[in-house]
Structure 1
Amino acid sequence: MLFWIVSTLLAIAVAGLLALALLRARGQGEPPAAYDLRVYRDQLREVDRDLARGVIDPADADRIRTEVSRRILAADAQLQEQTGGGRQRGPGVVLLAAGLAVALVLGGALLYRGLGAPGYADLPRQLRIEQAEYVRLNRPDQAEAEADMPERTPSQADPQYAELMDQLRATVADRPDDLQGHVLLAQNEAAMGNFAAAWRAQAEVIRIRGEDALPQDYAELAEMMILAAGGYVSPEAERALGQALRRDGRNPVARYYWGLLLQQIGRPDLAFSTWDGLLGESRPDAPWREPIEARMPELARLAGVTWEPRAPIVQQPGPSQSDIDAASELSDEDRMSMVRGMVEGLSDRLATQGGAPEEWARLIQALGVLGETDRAEAIWTEAAEVFAGDAAALATVTAAAEQAGLK
């Protein structure tokens, strides 16, 4: 209310000053008759001086004084008329001044009502940060978020598949420390849309693995929690994301959901920087690219920055024909060094940027050919984690592992 009082008084004051200037505008400047009066009076004084010097005789002086006096009387009457009319303002000027005052006061109020936020308190940056932290610390937990979700209609799964799932659940219940069983249970529950059951199975996977749990394990746990809560990032999901990022600060899934968390608690500035960095490192077909790009313009506006879409990372091509021809002319030792260099380059790129299932399969096969079976098996395990839930991708890397002689 104080804001409206102060702003209204300021608008009235400005409108009053403008109206006053408008009303006084016609009174400014000297009327022509006033100038004539000065000239005639100077002429009278000049007649007296000429008479004293003997330039003119008294008769001529009287005649000239009479003529100048007549002109002074006429000029004075004209001056009175001009100054009297200047004080009488026409109705058009008064109406214009009143309209200007109304337009400034009401127009300013209407403009602020449309563009501003009436009744909204001032929010300096530090206060917004404190409010965001308060929201983060006092938001609902995972159980509350899941309880608020509408009841899910059970999916009509294939009867045989449903029976296998019942058997898997029973088996895992009897074997609480069966790692592979919990991995399969989490993947299949998620595939069926049972995300609440999926994240609980994934939590058991992390419990069993202990300190050997991978960053992807925590990222998947957080993702399942978020999906179970309808896209809401709960404190429990936040802790899982924190564990994933502490183990691998470049994990793309964790970074995507961390940006979503920052957006939900009211930190668009941090969400923007998190997602902008992720976009700069993502492939064109990354699943998080489209939802991020759809939200970035609004995030940039809230963060007070400008944003231009980043060009996606283009996959590095394989060896060209000239590379192949050059390799055929090398010695066996040099050719093997060249192959190892290409394998290391592919391995580094998959570790930092990710890649298609075919690229993971190619790396597994290459390591098998080089006799590095332990490393090939580790890559196969990592690929299985990356493509968990994608049956086609898992089939591709599994076939490559079989060709490499892995068990």
Structure 2
Amino acid sequence: MAIWWFFGPALALCVLVAALVVLGLRRGAQVQGADSGQKREMRIYADQLKEIERDSARGVIPDDEAARLRAETARRLLDADRRGSRALRESPSAAKWVALVLVLTVPLGAFALYFNQGTPLYGDMPMSARYAAANDLREARLSQDAMEAAWQADPTRPPAPEVEQQYLDLMAQLRAALEQRPDDPRGLRLLAVNEGNIGNNAAAATAWARLIALEGEEAPVEDLVALGESMVLATGGLVSAQAEVVLDRILQRDPRNGTARYYLGLMFAQTGRPDLTFRLWRGLLEDSQPTDPWVPAIRGTIEELSQIAGVRYTLPPVATGGRGPTAEDMQAAAEMSDEDRQQMIGGMVDGPASRLANQGGTAEEWARLIGALGVLGQQERARAIWAEARLVFADQPEGLAQIDAAARSAGFGE
């Protein structure tokens, strides 16, 4: 009974469609056959009757002869009409075979496609119900602590990285020192960074949270990003409600922050809203540099997400380079003297270098400067900027990744 409840309407629809197709084929073949023979003959006889009437009216033929011809022609017209009626009741053999094939293949093909692409025995769920189910799933998420505990007990969790004993001894000393001075911001930052380096992401998240609590509402966005990422890593990639709060706080301060946008999209994918994931990640991919750490993950899944979201989307090609001089800049440089060209080049890099050294900047800006110096052949200066940038972003793995990628593109680096 349950099977019929799910498949009965679909089966009835298949039968109806097949019947309409068969009737259409049969009717088309019949009408075609009639038009090619009997109906043409009937039109000839009808024209002959009109011609007989005209000749009789003009006195060309006697009345008795006209009556005889009229009767004979009318008899032939009726015979042609009867043959046409029989043709409408007889389908050509080719049409019969086509109809038989369609009757068998249409239902079977439809069910095969459904079992391959659909969800058998799964009832219809309107969009409103899907959104409600996704909201319930989002509300029913485990807490951060419960997710961390589940990840620690997960047999598929990869082993922790091997750490030298000397490093572990130093970490023990650092933890002990912070027990004596729990509100030391510098010590908390050092602890958070190094707990993450050895794979203790839950401990790193705790240290970041303590540091941000001391910093208050003016906590740097970079610290919030480090906290959010540590929380997600500590759960094996799941985004808890507590981590979502941190991500929202980041986006309130920095709406274009790539890390927060990526993890927020991941959260929507985990809670039944892949359509929102697609919207977030599409914009993020368009705003990102090829070296950004989230780009490979997005490129690997966004086309599938677009299909789920019902959007036609073509993955753009991978960019082969960063922002650089325009064609006009290159043409202008080619027309300059050597002295003027060197002066122009110095102006292109000296200003950003001075600003970054004095005021700081994003990892992307440091990476762009390193790449520009490498292109200009100033390898030693590029190395010096790279070494300085590594110190600035020592506690920010994502920033380090961008800087090291720029160094490798410039022909050096690790």
Q: TM-score range by the shorter chain?
A: 0.5 to 0.7
DSSP 3-state at the match of 1:355: helix
Q: Residue in 1 aligned with 2:366?
A: 355
Are the equivalent residues in 1 in contact too, given 2:322–2:368 (CA < 8 A)? no
1:183 aligns with 2:189: yes
1:138 aligns with 2:149: no
Deviation at 1:157, TM superposition (A): 1.8
Question: Which of 3, 8, 24 matches 1:5?
Answer: 8
Deviation at 1:91, TM superposition (A): 6.5
Counterpart AA for 2:394: F
Q: Residue in 2 aligned with 1:19?
A: 22
Q: Residue in 1 aligned with 2:261?
A: 255
Q: Residue in 2 aligned with 1:308?
A: 316
Q: Residue in 2 aligned with 1:98?
A: 100
Deviation at 1:159, TM superposition (A): 1.8
1:388 aligns with 2:407: no
Q: Percent identity?
A: 29
Structure 2: distance between partners of 1:179 and 1:42: 112
RMSD of aligned Cα (Å): 4.8
Q: Residue in 1 aligned with 2:300?
A: 294
Q: TM-score, normalised by structure 2?
A: 0.66
Q: How does 1:6-405 map to 2 (within 5 A)?
A: 6-23=9-26, 25-26=29-30, 28-29=34-35, 30=38, 87=89, 94-149=96-151, 150=154, 153=159, 155-303=161-309, 304-306=311-313, 307-309=315-317, 311=319, 314-315=322-323, 322=340, 325=343, 343-344=354-355, 350-351=361-362, 353-356=364-367, 386-388=393-395
Are the equivalent residues in 2 in contact too, given 1:132–1:266 (CA < 8 A)? yes
Structure 2: distance between partners of 1:163 and 1:213: 30
Structure 1: distance between partners of 2:188 and 2:126: 48
Deviations 1:209-241 (CA, angstroms, capped at 9, x unpaired): 223421111111111111111111111111111
DSSP 3-state at the match of 1:230: coil
Structure 2: distance between partners of 1:206 and 1:256: 22
Counterpart AA for 1:169: R
Are the equivalent residues in 1 in contact too, given 2:363–2:400 (CA < 8 A)? no
Structure 1: distance between partners of 2:286 and 2:50: 87
Counterpart AA for 1:211: E
Give the unaligned 5+ runs of structure 2. 326-332, 374-387, 404-414
Deviation at 1:49, TM superposition (A): 9.2
Are the equivalent residues in 2 in contact too, given 1:189–1:197 (CA < 8 A)? yes
Deviation at 1:248, TM superposition (A): 2.5
Aligned residues: 359
Rg larger in structure: 1
Residues 388/98 of structure 1: CA separation in 2 closer, same or farther (3 Å cut): same
Residues 256/185 of structure 1: CA separation in 2 closer, same or farther (3 Å cut): same
Residues 284/80 of structure 1: CA separation in 2 closer, same or farther (3 Å cut): closer
Structure 1: distance between partners of 2:97 and 2:285: 60
Residues 177/384 of structure 1: CA separation in 2 closer, same or farther (3 Å cut): farther
Deviation at 1:174, TM superposition (A): 2.4
Structure 1: distance between partners of 2:213 and 2:271: 29
Structure 2: distance between partners of 1:315 and 1:36: 81
Structure 2: distance between partners of 1:251 and 1:244: 7
Structure 1: distance between partners of 2:269 and 2:318: 20
Deviations 1:92-114 (CA, angstroms, capped at 9, x unpaired): 65454333333333333333443
Give the unaligned 5+ runs of structure 1. 329-334, 363-379, 397-407
